[in-house]
Amino acid sequence: MKVVLQNLTKKFPNRNKKGTDVIAVNDFSFEIPDGKLVGLLGPSGCGKSTTLFMICGLEEPTEGNIFFGEDNVTELPPEHRGVGVVFQNYALYPHLTVRQNIIFPLQNLKGADKLSKEEMNERVLEAAKLVQIEELMERKPSELSGGQQQRVAIARAMVKMPMVLLLDEPLSNLDARLRLQTREEIRRIQKETGITTIFVTHDQEEAMSISDVIVVMKSGELQQIGKPQDIYDDPVNLFVAKFLGTPPINIFQGKVKGGKLYLTENTAVLDVPNVADQDVTVGIRPEGFIPDEHGSLSCNLVRVEVMGRDISVVSTHPACENPNVRSIIDADIEIDPESTTVCFSLKPHKVLLFDKETGKRIYFT
Ligand code: ATP
């Protein structure tokens, strides 16, 4: 099921003295293709949950429309939208067993949707199999691990065979190892069922690893939408460039003069054809540095960290905003850890320029 958001805006009345509205979501328009997993990504308070609540019908938009396929569902109550929702805190009924928790939404179906006991049991078993918890059906939630509880919550959301699955920070309460395992599980379930899924997270690594498409938000505004790799390689502004990537992008203050990029007064580090002379903010991805004794970017070496396949060279540079310049290079390349300086040449496609005032990307060819 394709989901289309059209000029979606949500304002909340503010309780402060000035009385200006809080614009949680501002004029959002985008299309979520049928059968895809979309990651809604942004820092805390950027409007992710509000967007999700409007899609499932728990919040009413101030302006705009929501379409499921060709149907305008903006006015439709949540129970008639065909959505399954999983929240961060699982929200399982503590006094019910796993089986009773999963069957609960089916017992409330009315009229033509009503199912026989056999049909309900069949659906429950199917959902339990999907998330691999058939062995746990008679336990209470308190007798399950966090990961198992989250699986039950997913099974409960899936049992009504929703057209759209909405997941609001579903991994936040899990420890690091379980997060990894459960996110792979969510991806598997999504692929197996082909259900259009919207996944809210503030964790860029999580969003990058499982999403077909990422939607990056900031302060209620859509920043960029696209495939994870495309957004990483080609961010439209400084915010998006900084938000994606581990280790984060290295930010420098620089200057373009005569088609060349300078990070210090006299030494050009890269040709940047077709860019007018100006001060710029420069982002260099950690994998964009090539150790090169003749390289024009000279940094003060702090330490070399061995990571197995790669090594991380930690250095400093006077024009760098980050406390350290972090570069990731192949472990086959030898860096003398005793040296006080390390020189690099740069991979042009890993160097991104941004307008110093607006943060908008400046492209060079
Ligand atoms: P988080 O990752 O912290 O959950 P989020 O990106 O999901 O954040 P939202 O919960 O959608 O953000 O909130 C967006 C903005 O709207 C925030 O500034 C929040 O304070 C505000 N907001 C949300 N609900 C209300 C409400 N009922 N009344 C007033 N303001 C609200």
Task: Examine the domain organization and report whether 232 and 271 are in the same domain.
Answer: no
Q: Name the amino acid, one letter, at 265.
A: E
Percent of the chain as helix, strand, coil, to the nearest 5: 30, 35, 40
Task: Examine the domain organization and report whether 106 and 180 are in the same domain.
Answer: yes
Give the pLDDT of residue 172: 81
User: What is the rounded CA–CA span in Å between residue 72 and residue 65?
Assistant: 7
Beta bridge partners of 253: 281
pLDDT at 346 over 80: yes
Phi/psi at 77 (5° precision):
-65, 155
Q: Show the domain range for 197.
A: 3-242
Task: Examine the domain organization and report whether 263 and 319 are in the same domain.
Answer: yes
Q: Which atom of ligand 1 lies closest to the CA of 202? A: 2
Task: Examine the domain organization and report whether 227 and 272 are in the same domain.
Answer: no
What average pLDDT does the segment 81-110 reach?
88
Pocket test for ligand 1, best of 49, 166, 200 (most atoms within 8 A of CB): 49
pLDDT digits (tens, 9 = 90+) for 248-275: 999 999 999 999 999 998 899 999 999 9
Task: Examine the domain organization and report whether 84 and 155 are in the same domain.
Answer: yes
Task: Examine the domain organization and report whether 80 and 226 are in the same domain.
Answer: yes
pLDDT digits (tens, 9 = 90+) for 131-150: 888 899 999 999 998 888 98
Q: Name the amino acid, one letter, at 13.
A: P
User: What is the rounded CA–CA span in Å between residue 312 and residue 24?
Assistant: 39
Give the pLDDT of residue 100: 94
User: What is the rounded CA–CA span in Å between residue 120 and residue 105?
Assistant: 10
User: What is the rounded CA–CA span in Å between residue 321 and residue 310?
Assistant: 24
Spell 146-176 as b/e; 16+ CB within 10 A means b: ebbbbbbbbbbbbbbebbbbbbbbbbbbbee
State which of 242, 277, 306 marks the end of a domain: 242
Overall number of domains in the chain: 2
User: What is the rounded CA–CA span in Å between residue 167 and residue 207?
Assistant: 12
Cis peptide before 43 (omega within 30 of 0): no
| Ligand 1 centre distance from Cα of residue 52 (Å) | 11
Q: Name the amino acid, one letter, at 181.
A: Q
Task: Examine the domain organization and report whether 236 and 254 are in the same domain.
Answer: no
Phi/psi at 44 (5° precision):
-55, 135
Task: Examine the domain organization and report whether 58 and 98 are in the same domain.
Answer: yes
Give nearest CA residue, ligand 1 atom 17.
45
| Ligand 1 centre distance from Cα of residue 24 (Å) | 6
pLDDT at 111 over 80: no
pLDDT digits (tens, 9 = 90+) for 296-324: 999 999 999 988 889 999 999 999 999 99
Task: Examine the domain organization and report whether 183 and 298 are in the same domain.
Answer: no
Handedness of CA 75, 76, 78, 83 (dihedral sign): negative
Give nearest CA residue, ligand 1 atom 26.
12
Burial class (CB in 10 A: 0-12, 13-18, 19+), 315: buried
Give the pLDDT of residue 297: 96
Task: Examine the domain organization and report whether 163 and 38 are in the same domain.
Answer: yes
Q: Which of 110-114, 222-226, 258-262 has the lowest mean pLDDT?
A: 110-114
Give nearest CA residue, ligand 1 atom 15.
24
Q: Which atom of ligand 1 lies closest to the CA of 23? A: 16
Q: Which atom of ligand 1 lies closest to the CA of 220? A: 14
Give nearest CA residue, ligand 1 atom 9.
47
Pocket test for ligand 1, best of 8, 10, 11, 12 (most atoms within 8 A of CB): 12
pLDDT digits (tens, 9 = 90+) for 8-66: 999 998 776 677 888 999 999 999 999 999 999 999 999 999 999 999 999 999 999 99
Q: Which atom of ligand 1 lies closest to the CA of 47? A: 11
User: What's 350's DSSP letter?
Assistant: G
Q: At what angle are helices 98-107 and 117-130 packed, to 10 degrees?
A: 130
Give nearest CA residue, ligand 1 atom 5.
45
| Residue 318 three-state SS | coil
State which of 211, 227, 242 marks the end of a domain: 242
Site residues for ligand 1, CB cut-off 6 Å: 12, 22, 24, 42, 44-50, 202
Give the pLDDT of residue 17: 67
Residue 104 in contact with residue 84, Cβ under 8 Å?
A: no
Q: What percentage of the chain reaches a pLDDT higher than 70?
A: 99
Residue 98 in contact with residue 116, Cβ under 8 Å?
A: no
Task: Examine the domain organization and report whether 172 and 30 are in the same domain.
Answer: yes
| Ligand 1 centre distance from Cα of residue 21 (Å) | 12
pLDDT at 93 over 70: yes
Q: Which atom of ligand 1 lies closest to the CA of 13? A: 29
User: Which CATH number characterizes residue 176's domain?
Assistant: 3.40.50.300
User: What is the rounded CA–CA span in Å between residue 132 and residue 12?
Assistant: 41
Give the pLDDT of residue 108: 81
Question: Nearest CA to 364 among 226, 350, 251?
Answer: 350
Give the pLDDT of residue 302: 96
| Ligand 1 centre distance from Cα of residue 325 (Å) | 34
Residue 250 in contact with residue 287, Cβ under 8 Å?
A: no
User: What is the rounded CA–CA span in Å between residue 85 and residue 91?
Assistant: 10
User: What is the rounded CA–CA span in Å between residue 157 and residue 195?
Assistant: 12
Task: Examine the domain organization and report whether 228 and 346 are in the same domain.
Answer: no
